[in-house]
Amino acid sequence: MIQKIRPRFKALTVALAGSICLASCGSMKDQDQVHVTVIEDSDPVIKPVGIDLNYASATARAAIAKGLVGFDEEGRVVPALAARWIVTDDGLSYIFRLNEAKWDDGRQITSDRIERLLRQRVQELRSSRLGPDLEAIEEIVSMTGQVIEIQLKSPRPNFLQLMAQPEMGLFRAGNGAGPMSELDNGKLYKLGIFNYAPSENVEGDGEQQRDRITSDPRQITMRTERAAMALARYTSGHTNLVLNGH
């Protein structure tokens, strides 16, 4: 099942990486502002929470909520919340060592929290397109402060590809861990560059981070349109990038 859905999110990852590059370099009259239009003919809402995500919502979730692993521009599995991992010889255990990282509000990411969030997310996704593959998970265990183990009922060669899907990105109390941050979830969905600078000051640190992101001119604005309107917007120069054109 994972083989069939992987190409869609490979394209998504490439598009997102391109958007971040454009935001860093500036490409329109307003320089560091990048405008992305996602074609959605049926469901126009960008909502990166829940289980049945449309293309725009999956793009947004991939931008603001890392999972243990993710995809690079070539569609290969790469580190995200996890810095590295090992797989036991029998293929039944995946052991991940977490990066030293923080959530969007400045709180430290720990394996205890990741264990709870993963358990919750797997349960939420039981009835989603990923449900049949997630049935392979036997147990999720926090081993130390930075190490987490996922035990499987039987070997799954594409398990890492499953864990890299946008739906497996994690939120803690509404806060993700990048690579971008949600600034506005109204009609125009706005993203800012996630660039957390670690600080010894825990209290109020999340608010300081939010101020840094908001003041950073490198931002991406996403909207959804029907195909004809999306192409017209691109042709007229009002958007940098159109996604989900199949």
Domains in the chain with CATH codes:
2-243 (3.40.190.10)
Of the candidates 43, 70, 72, the one whose C-alpha atom is nearest the C-alpha of residue 55 is: 43
Supply the pLDDT for residue 8.
47
Supply the pLDDT for residue 107.
86
Query: Can you say whether the dihedral through the CA atoms of 43, 45, 49, 54 is positive or negative?
Result: positive
Supply the pLDDT for residue 15.
53
Structure tokens at 70: 């993710």
Position 36, amino acid: V
Q: Give every residue of the chain whose pLDDT is below 50, as ranges.
A: 1-13, 27-28, 197-204
Supply the pLDDT for residue 144.
85
Supply the pLDDT for residue 72.
84
What's this model's pTM, rounded to 2 decimal places?
Answer: 0.78
Supply the pLDDT for residue 150.
98
